[in-house]
Amino acid sequence: MVKKFSIILAVDSKNWIWKSWKLPWKISWDMKYFKEKTSKTSDLAKLNAVIMWRKTWESIPSKFRPFSDRINCILSRNIKNQSINSKIDDFVLYFNNLETCIEEISLKENLEKIFIIWWANLYNQVLENPLLEKIYLTIIEWDFGCDTFFDWFDEKKFEKIEESEKFEENWIKYHFEVYKRLLFI
């Protein structure tokens, strides 16, 4: 059975998420939130998976990849594009497309949750997918002049189930929100 998945992302005040292939803000609590949500499982014998494009994988400093305590799934149109320095094992898997990736990792007995991370085209591609179960958002209350846009989701199809208090770090105000797909649309 194919598992449902979530997306996790941070957006600025105009729904932009990247600038020149990088996050334009440095918010330590957002990074902690990302790590906690994508790695924490209810069953200690299981792992979560994170799915990202190859260019996203390559944009992550090598000292931070693969993401620990998670299955790292890399999407590449040409599997031969694998980075020479990347470690290929049970925690780093390469796939040609998203559908195959989700189908194959759903078969893993040690898999608990699936998260799609860090790339607007991938987020925008899955917004209408019925397997998209939750959206984890960090809302950053500032316009950073980014160059990569996130298409907002249809709020009639999702309900907000969590909203944090507002925080501030390095003059940046932000908060966290979680949306869950409504069962009856």
**Of all residues in the chain, what percent are helix, strand and coil, respectively (each to 5)?**
20, 35, 40
Residue 132 sits at φ, ψ, to 5 deg, of -70, 115
- Which residue in 159, 93, 148 sits closest to 124, CA to CA? 148
The CATH number for 28's domain is 3.40.430.10
Domain count, the chain: 1
Cα–Cα distance, 129 to 105 (Å, whole number): 17
Question: 76 lies in which domain range?
Answer: 5-181
**pTM for the full predicted model:** 0.88
What local confidence, expressed as pLDDT, does residue 153 receive?
82
What local confidence, expressed as pLDDT, does residue 118 receive?
77
* pLDDT, tens digit only, all 185 positions of the chain: 899 999 999 888 877 776 776 777 889 999 999 999 999 999 999 999 999 988 888 888 888 889 999 999 999 887 654 443 444 555 899 999 899 999 999 999 999 999 999 776 778 788 888 999 999 999 999 887 777 767 778 888 899 999 999 999 989 999 999 999 997 55
148 sits in which H/E element: strand 148-149
Residue 98 has which token pair? 């998203």
What local confidence, expressed as pLDDT, does residue 143 receive?
84
Cis-peptide into 66, omega within 30 deg:
yes
What local confidence, expressed as pLDDT, does residue 81 receive?
46
